[in-house]
Amino acid sequence: MSAGSFGLAPGAGYGIGQAAIAEILFTFQLCYIVCTVATVDDERLTHYFGLAIGSCVTAGGFAIGAVSGGSLNPAVSLGIAVSHAGYAGEWSSDVWLYCVFELIGALIAAGLFKYTHDRDASFGRSYKRPFK
């Protein structure tokens, strides 16, 4: 590996299972916070959603950066893999697993958001809770 590039892989001393748990949990956290502060009609949140989202990214980076790299986003994972392949000439074999982990976290967040919020302002329609 070159000094100016890094691949997408679990950190030293961690396995792909630990990276999976870290990516799923913190991607879930980030996606759920984005949904709750940036898509609901609440005037009190309009000035603070950037702070909430940025804080989640920062907390995730510090908490799981050494475990998995903390990319938290399939686009970031692909970007890291492509740039590393272009710079160092090696393709990161874990990139597709990382994308799956992050999509799982995002889907769980979207499902929980749909369940816990009656109305999503971005679409302007109400959702019905299944057990309300």
DSSP-derived letter for residue 43 is G
Q: Is 126 helix (H, G, I), strand (E, B) or coil?
A: strand
Identify the pLDDT of residue 72: 92
For 69-128, what is each residue's pLDDT tens digit? Answer: 889 999 999 998 998 888 888 888 889 999 999 999 999 999 999 888 866 555 555 544
pLDDT-based confidence at residue 26 (cuts at 50, 70, 90): very high
| Residue in the block written with tokens 């997408």 | 8
pLDDT-based confidence at residue 39 (cuts at 50, 70, 90): confident
CA atoms of 50 and 72, how far apart (whole Å): 17
Q: Are 49 and 58 in contact (CB under 8 A)?
A: no
Side chain identity, residue 104: I
Domains and CATH numbers, the chain: 16-123 (1.20.1080.10)
